[in-house]
Amino acid sequence: MGYHLHFNEHYPGKCEQVKDMSLGSEHLYTFKDGLTFITSGLAVQNLSTHTKEYMVKHNIVGRMYLFDFNNNKAKVEELSIVGSNGGFNLKLFRPHGIGGWLDKSGRKLLFVVNHEEQGVDYIEKFEFIPESKQLKHIKRYRDDTMLLLNDVQPTSEDSFYFTNYGTGPGLFMMKVQILCQMAWNTVVYFDGNDYRVVLDGMAMSNGIAMSNDGRYVYIATTISHEILVTERKPNNDLVRKQVYPVYSFVDNIIVDSKTDNLYIAGHPIGHKIFLHLDKPDYRAPSQVLMLYVKDGNITKTRELFYDDGDLITGSTVATVFNSKLLIGTIIDTTVLCDVNVPL
């Protein structure tokens, strides 16, 4: 749980908090043109009383934001969400993981994990309408293999992988899984018709991302402090290729669109992030790692960012684009930094 750990605070350049945004930016997806979509308002299962009160106090509800790396400003726009296909209800929207897909006609499609109600998760599909800055809800997905969803990685406009980071909504079993480091979790693939488990035996499968050529899929296993590299087969099965230790409670994974290197945000001191999850006012450190990749294998790690909790608490996701580093959190501020270090 990291009681013995100490880190030195450092930034890759000037950092500032992003303006006009609610607390919380759990996950994001950046298209190759720099447009970035951010999920906000995560409400996981079994929220503490403190967290529920904190969310009400700060008006934290399900929202989606747009950030444009080309504008070079620490500012976002909230996107309006329209449509209710399949019974989607915006008032019950609690977004978590997100993945993007650019179809053959150039449409930007977003797949978003939604914790709509206790014990029932969905994946929602949206189309971005650039003229009106809207997200149009197209479709929702639900299956019994969706136990406790975390993240989603599209492979086409109607197929995707997703991770289960728990076995269900029960708080007791989640505590057992975490404290005993039980490898109970799965990755599931939906091919457009059927759902099937393609990987199991992971200790809290969290973020998932795919290489730019589609050959490799990376999974963050939070409790075991590792990145699992898998090779994607023609039938979309995943075969373990490498297990890479990062010595941190890793969260989400972003693949660099040019280099295939990975950006990982995580929680380096375990007991502090768990206190923050219970009481959001408690400050916890944030960390961003860059993992160098060659031929699908991770070769080395560089720490790009570390903050004790003064500027940002509970980092969950990070990406670099146009020499800017954007960092999201569970239920805290979002930060943008200049990157003045070699990548």
Catalytic residues: 96
Q: Is 206 annotated as a binding residue?
A: yes
Amino acid at 343: L
Say if residues 307 and 285 touch (Cβ distance below 8 Å): yes
Give the type of residue at 189.
Answer: Y
Is 251 assigned to a binding site? yes
98 annotated as belonging to a binding site for a ligand: yes
Dihedral in degrees, nearest 10, Cα atoms 272, 55, 325, 16 = -100
Cα–Cα separations (whole angstroms), residue 90 to 4, 81, 115, 219: 43, 8, 12, 29
252 is in an annotated binding site: yes
Judge whether 216 and 231 are in contact, CB under 8 Å.
yes
DSSP 136-174: EEEEEE--TT-SSEEEEEEEETTEEEEEESSSSS-HHHH
User: What is the rounded CA–CA span in Å between residue 191 and residue 161?
Assistant: 9
* Of 212, 163, 192, 187, the residue nearest 30 (C-alpha): 212
Residue ranges of alpha helices (H) inside the chain are: 49-57, 171-179, 270-278
Return the exposure string of 254-281: e unless at least 16 CB atoms fall within 10 Å of the residue's CB, then b.
bbbeeebbbbbbbbbbbebbeebbeebe
Residue given tokens 């009400």 in the structure block: 56
191 is in an annotated binding site: no
Compute CA distances 52 → 48, 108, 216, 331, whole Å. 6, 33, 38, 11
Report which of 209, 212, 211, 231 is spatially closest to residue 220, judged by C-alpha positions: 209
Question: Cβ of 175: how many Cβ atoms within 10 Å?
Answer: 11
User: Can you tell me the distance from the alpha carbon of 309 to that of 197, in angstroms, rounded to the nearest whole number?
Assistant: 37
Contact 163, 150 (CB under 8 A): yes
Binding-site residue positions = 26, 98, 150-151, 206, 251-252
Binding-site residue positions for Ca(2+) = 26, 98, 150-151, 206, 251-252
